[in-house]
Structure 1
């Protein structure tokens, strides 16, 4: 179609990550796990945190374990990551800290303790962070002390692959938007029911004891117009570093926990997928909440409690998020299109379109064929 741009993101065809990253809730020292896929699944449930280096604001999340670490950081224009095992950490520590002869696990534990307050918005007084961007990546320099001696560390981050960006940022944001929209619709329904209840009381002679408590009947259209005209501009004018306030961090965790849970369920065989009726597929697009992830399957569900992690409040429990994400699309929602040959979207276009306030969650949830 002349003048039209169609953007799709892959939700079906995926390859496993060889390295993964993420900087969120205070970094955690986790027990050793086999396979980068299981490590990334634990990273996925860590919420993003806002960090500031000089005049630049970033979103980041990190996860440490006794065999290495993985880091993901973004300025919302680019996304970078680094994954380092114990051998790489030991080699780099020898190059940067020649006077220190501690075990690799001590380096990892110290790095974890340095990143914790940074992600909590309270970097240590004796710790300095600096960030240097280049065409090939991003370097995060850390200067501190260990055992009374100077301690230096450099995170060497390279551009993150698109599939990692979609998994850790785009898909959770889309699902969070859908969950919040469903919540808003339920609240509107409750308001209308309350108005009907109040009107019934009035018709039966009930009166208010305090006139200041009187309210006008809720008008959804007026509310939406006022929100778009007044509240939305104020939200959009806030700094990008405010993208993940504490309440949204909790929702992010609940949404990603649900994705990990869904990914660990037994998958249908390829034959089952290939033999599914074409007409049925065209009419009913797969729900983002229930789509299976080829790259995140694992043999057993990890149930250990991560030390230091704050519990998710009851308002955003995984069961509630699952219920919200299973909401059926309205008939007016954009239809699901199959068979379009789409090339990968450049990062600059991706940044603009990812935050488009349309309701067409299916259109935003695309694929390449």
Structure 2
């Protein structure tokens, strides 16, 4: 069974797991999220009314680069880094502008074009994101579900914090009963009352400014990190293990002897089914083959002398080999158990 830590190491985040980032263009606030790879990108833009999406891959990406920046010669990875940096961390020389292309029979924007003007190695660099209207499923996966998850988690954390504060009040009361006093008057606090705290928050000026800002403050650095953690956990909960993943997990958990057996190794081994060459001779043999077989061509006397049962010396040698083999098996199993434990606790 795959653990969450092992799954996180192999998991490749998709666009829904990338956090939103607030940007302001021409006095209008937008939320934008994106996922870049070595030769492609996905981008989702919203003004909290409409959603636009674009995905551009290798060849189409190269064509647009050639069209917009014919004089620039750089690797695809370098250009994608430039595009991402211009959106994520725009510099002074970077400018953003937004344009719309409306449908002929509808006032609603059909496409949005986010134009970026920046500099790459001292030369002007231009890029246009041209995004179509996103479908409702994408809106749900990238905003509705994550935001509901964030609200639930923040509510849970608030309740836990209230418990911590109430316990702190009890601890302070206990100190006061023992005659302990604060060294400075201004650091004393009043007992926490949840209802009074909630009313105070609703009447504060920060509550009004928080409502006005909406999405722009929901995705600050802390909000982005919470979004990322929520969606990573959501992907883990809703994962669908593949056969390949299950097989790889079994392979990692198996002992070394089992791995060698699956590979059909014919070389000398100290696995559980083999003896060391110093004991087994030039070629390792199983315990059943150690005992010589009685040949029908020989006389009964000769046969009796050649079997382990017929000779006390050979009996003791055979038993010694069996005992040594069992000891080697036990030692090997202990080594394998230690290896498994290290794998389980390794992060």
TM category, shorter = 0.5 to 0.7
Aligned to 2:95: 128
Q: Could you list the runs of 5+ residues in structure 1 that have no partner in the other structure?
A: 1-32, 267-296, 302-369
- How do residues 74-223 of structure 1 correspond to structure 2 at under 5 angstroms? 74-100=46-72, 102=73, 106-107=75-76, 109-120=78-89, 123-134=90-101, 135-146=109-120, 150-223=124-197
Number of residue equivalences = 229
Is the 1:195–1:218 Cα contact (8 Å) retained in structure 2?
yes
Deviations 1:281-319 (A, max 9, x none): xxxxxxxxxxxxxxxx89659xxxxxxxxxxxxxxxxxx
Deviations 1:99-146 (A, max 9, x none): 45x47xx245324323324323xx233433211124212011223445
Q: Which structure has the higher relative contact order (CA within 8 Å, separation 6+)?
A: 1
Cα distance in 2, alignment partners of residues 185 and 50 from structure 1: 28
Alignment partner of 1:66 is 2:38 = yes
Q: Relative to 1, partners in 2 of residues 1:73 and 1:108: Cα closer, same or farther, differing over 3 Å? A: farther
Aligned to 1:49: 21
Aligned to 1:249: 224
Answer 1 or 2: which has greater helix percent.
Answer: 2
Cα distance in 2, alignment partners of residues 47 and 64 from structure 1: 13
Cα distance in 2, alignment partners of residues 68 and 115 from structure 1: 11
Report the structure number with the largest CA radius of gyration. Answer: 2
Residue 235 (structure 2) aligned to one of 260, 274, 284: 260
Aligned to 2:283: none
Shift of 1:152: 2.9
Give the TM-score normalised by the residue count of structure 1.
0.56
Question: Is the partner of 1:136 in helix, strand or coil?
Answer: strand
Cα distance in 1, alignment partners of residues 223 and 216 from structure 2: 13
Q: Relative to 1, partners in 2 of residues 1:80 and 1:91: Cα closer, same or farther, differing over 3 Å? A: same
Shift of 1:84: 0.9
Q: Relative to 1, partners in 2 of residues 1:93 and 1:203: Cα closer, same or farther, differing over 3 Å? A: closer
Q: Relative to 1, partners in 2 of residues 1:239 and 1:94: Cα closer, same or farther, differing over 3 Å? A: same
Cα distance in 2, alignment partners of residues 217 and 151 from structure 1: 59
Give the TM-score normalised by the residue count of structure 2.
0.59
More deviation, 198-207/143-152: 143-152
Cα distance in 1, alignment partners of residues 149 and 61 from structure 2: 35
Question: Is the partner of 2:180 in helix, strand or coil?
Answer: coil
Q: Relative to 1, partners in 2 of residues 1:111 and 1:142: Cα closer, same or farther, differing over 3 Å? A: farther
Cα distance in 1, alignment partners of residues 203 and 15 from structure 2: 38
Q: Relative to 1, partners in 2 of residues 1:165 and 1:299: Cα closer, same or farther, differing over 3 Å? A: farther
Cα distance in 2, alignment partners of residues 298 and 90 from structure 1: 36
Shift of 1:254: 1.0
Alignment partner of 1:224 is 2:198 = yes
Q: Relative to 1, partners in 2 of residues 1:208 and 1:113: Cα closer, same or farther, differing over 3 Å? A: same
Q: Relative to 1, partners in 2 of residues 1:97 and 1:177: Cα closer, same or farther, differing over 3 Å? A: same
Q: Could you list the runs of 5+ residues in structure 2 that have no partner in the other structure?
A: 1-9, 102-108, 247-347
Cα distance in 2, alignment partners of residues 47 and 153 from structure 1: 22
Deviations 1:172-228 (A, max 9, x none): 111111111111101111111121222223233333333223222111111111112
Cα distance in 1, alignment partners of residues 81 and 33 from structure 2: 12
Is the 2:36–2:84 Cα contact (8 Å) retained in structure 1?
no
Is the 2:38–2:76 Cα contact (8 Å) retained in structure 1?
no
